[in-house]
Amino acid sequence: MTQIALKIETTYVVLDQDISYNEIRLIATTVFVHKNRKSWSKDYDAIVDTGAPLTVVPHSIWRNLHVKICRPAWPGGIHPGESCKILCSVGMILLKLADNLGKQSKVFVCRAYLLPKNFDSVPLVLGYNTCLERFKLVANPRKDEAYLEM
């Protein structure tokens, strides 16, 4: 079985004198098929988010990718209110995951929310459906160990 190493980013957060915690993010190196279908994008760091139903791709990234736009969508976030929804497109993209040890996944098709231009501050997020569900996720931040297994 191939293990693709994930980066572990830890940020110490202080909310007030009585509340502080370590914010831990798992980061996967993600490479996309370019829109010319003959080359790869540069490497992008993506947040691994098992709570995200679909992968989320900012416009500054997907505008240079080979994408198939399927339909409009109004995804929401943690807050269920209408004011938190973003009009975007659902599309299909081709990508692979890699690590700094040279290990790579096979190229696969992933369903994604393709965000409009004015939401480029939203990070690249790998979601569950058609992406993370392909892998076994192992994370043990205490041992500085995290990977996706194919």
List, run by run, the mean pLDDT of 10-residue segments along the chain (150 residues): 95 93 96 94 97 96 96 76 81 97 96 94 95 96 93
The pLDDT, as a whole number, for residue 1 is 84
Kindly state which CATH superfamily the domain 3-141 is placed in.
Answer: Acid Proteases (2.40.70.10)
Domain definitions of the chain by residue range:
3-141
Residue 33 in tokens: 């098929």
Q: What is the pLDDT of residue 78?
A: 60
